[in-house]
Amino acid sequence: MTFRRYLLLVLLGLSWTNMGWALEASVDRTRLLLGDSLELTLETVASSRANRPDLSPLESHFEVRASRQLSLISQLDGRTRPVTRWIISLRPREAGYLEIPPLNLNGEQSEAISLMVLTPEQAAEDAGLELAPIFIDSEVDNETPYVQAQVLLTLRVFHSVSLYDDSILSGLDIPDARVERLGEPHNYEQVIGGIRHGVIEARYAIYPQRSGNLEIPAQLFSATILVPRDPGERFSARSGQLMQVRSPSIQLAVQPIPAAFPADAQWLPARQLSLQQHWQPDPEQDLLTGEPLTRTIHIQASGVLASQLPGLNHLGANADPALRLYADQPQLTTELTASGAQAEREDSAAIVAQQGGEYLLDGLTLPWWDIDNDRLEIIRLEPQALRVKSTDSFLTGGPQAAPGDPAEPVALIWPWQLFSAVLALALASSIWLLVRTRRRLLEFVLDSGGDGPVDLADNNPLADLQAACRHNHPAEARKALEAWAKQQDSDGLLHLSQEHPELAVALEHLNASLFGQNPDSWRGKQLWRAVRRVIQEQRLEPEAKASELPDIYPKT
């Protein structure tokens, strides 16, 4: 029983292999005049160059004039295999309905192909004889689109003859519509009615800009075809013939915006759409007045251009007057693929509270029209609550005594206590003098550098910061400061200001000026001195590390 099952599996495998190695036959035309020649193409992946198909069955009705063999590489079932192709020139011996019989090669058999061979008298009465060696087929995915909705146009140029490399397809220009070309045309082969055709396919995305009738005009394709040489003349040269064909025009009935779409929203027809938002820092934690909270809104859509995506980074009509919004330029990206347009829009803005308290940011709503299912879709983002603490609470001290409270009696100070106090005062004075001397030394080193340019090379944030501080431009100074801080510390400006208190104080004054906390005009000298001090301290750190003595015993 096991042997029979194994034998059956082997036979099925052989039969499946033979099906994948079938001998395919095709012709360049199925209707021709008596006396004309046609080309028969045989193709297989199961033959070597030493094997040739048996052409003797053709001799009864056809004259075999010439044949040539080609070795190609083909993709079959995901694997690369060698392909052998024979191109055979045949001339019918008689008029009427003829059949190219099945041909054999290594036990494989091709299918029969029927031909119609006409006499000159029959050809004069039969208009179907004039088969074009080149023709164009065009189609759209939707003939009744909505206004501004994407329509995919596909143009296919079929040719049953060889072409030179000078083929040209005219440009597509449609009034009252925007046209985007979806990549470069690609080539492949297709058998139609037993005839092998080369196909040149081009795709376009069309966006009608008004409702009503819209005509996609005919496209002109120009190419030079290769005329076969005369078999009777052995050394005759091949020649070319210029041919031009036009595609059929297509009429579109463009629909207006549907009544179900909200009238106060921007019209957005798409195939797919997603909406996301990100916060920096986390909006659930407490914020301080003047501290920026950055919100980034990201929209992804297919079937639309990036210019069609609306901007959503706003506070809303019911926003508290104490909130301010500082928006950056939106980032728009459109990628054109064979399946249509893929669009992205990213909006980033800083939200700043000028007063402490609790705030509620309105939720976001984005309506769009699903053109595949012809229905309204709405995406919503929930409202966001904010808790903001006033910076005034950090400036007040601890509890103070009431004005009417009696003063406590002062304890008697003994001599040893007085001596300890004098000693502590002397120690404090020494430390103060030491700190003062070191500070003056640093100031001397900093002042010796002056306000001269540090490095005026292009794209140097330190030079930009120096120029912004010199001209008292707070916005440019903040931008250059952030760029310089990223070069000094991977964690950015926040971490750098935590390590250098003087820089933190200068940064606080800069933020207060930018976000409306400080009514006085900003001066950049304080910030520039703080930055110079950070640079000097960073230069002294390697010298301090180098002065340390190495360990006596090496670490293992």
Task: Measure the CA–CA gap between 377 and 98, rounded to whole angstroms.
Answer: 60
Architecture of domain 23-126: Sandwich (2.60)
Rounded to whole angstroms, what are the CA distances from 100 to 193, 349, 492, 501, 553?
14, 73, 79, 94, 95
Q: Report the alpha-carbon distance of residue 277 to residue 283 in Å, rounded.
A: 12
Closest CA to 90 of 27, 25, 55, 39: 39
Rounded to an integer, the average pLDDT of 454-459 is: 52
- The architecture of the domain spanning 269-389 is Sandwich (2.60)
Given a contact cutoff of 8 angstroms between Cβ atoms, the answer to whether 119 and 100 are in contact is no
Q: What mean pLDDT comes out for the span 337-352?
A: 93
Domain map (residue ranges) of the chain: 23-126, 134-254, 269-389, 461-542
- pLDDT score for 180: 94
126: confidence class by pLDDT, cuts 50, 70, 90: low
Identify the pLDDT of residue 142: 92
- Give the position of tokens 């120096």: 466
- CATH class, domain 134-254, is mainly beta
Cα–Cα distance for residue pair 353/320, rounded to 1 Å:
9
Taking the C-alpha atoms of residue 447 and residue 348, their distance in angstroms, rounded to an integer, is 40
Instruction: Report how far residue 477's alpha carbon sits from residue 528's, in angstroms, rounded to the nearest whole number.
Output: 10
Q: State the Cα–Cα distance between residues 291 and 500, nearest whole angstrom.
A: 19
Of 77-86, 148-157, 405-414, the one with minimum mean pLDDT is 405-414
* Integer Cα distance of 464 and 202 in angstroms: 49
- 14 pLDDT above the threshold of 60: no
Top pLDDT among 3 and 209 is at: 209
Task: Summarize the confidence of residues 252-267 as an average pLDDT.
Answer: 94
Per-residue pLDDT band for 301 (boundaries 50, 70, 90) equals very high
Confidence of residue 340 (pLDDT cuts 50, 70, 90): very high
The mean pLDDT value for 348-376 works out to 91
- The reported pLDDT for the residue numbered 456 is 47
pTM over 0.85: no
Residue 448 pLDDT > 50: no
Lowest-pLDDT choice from 187-191, 381-385, 551-555: 551-555
3-state SS, residue 330: coil
The residues, ordered by sequence, that sit 6+ positions from 200 with a Cβ below 8 Å of its Cβ are 156, 157, 159, 167, 169, 185, 186, 187
Question: Among 188, 44, 11, which residue's Cα sits nearest to residue 110?
Answer: 44
**Tokens of residue 46, six digits:** 């199961």
Return d(Cα 126, Cα 123) in angstroms, integer.
5
On the question of a common fold for 23-126 and 134-254, the answer reads yes
Q: Are strands 220-227 and 239-246 parallel, antiparallel or unpaired?
A: antiparallel
Q: Quick check: 254 pLDDT over 90?
A: yes
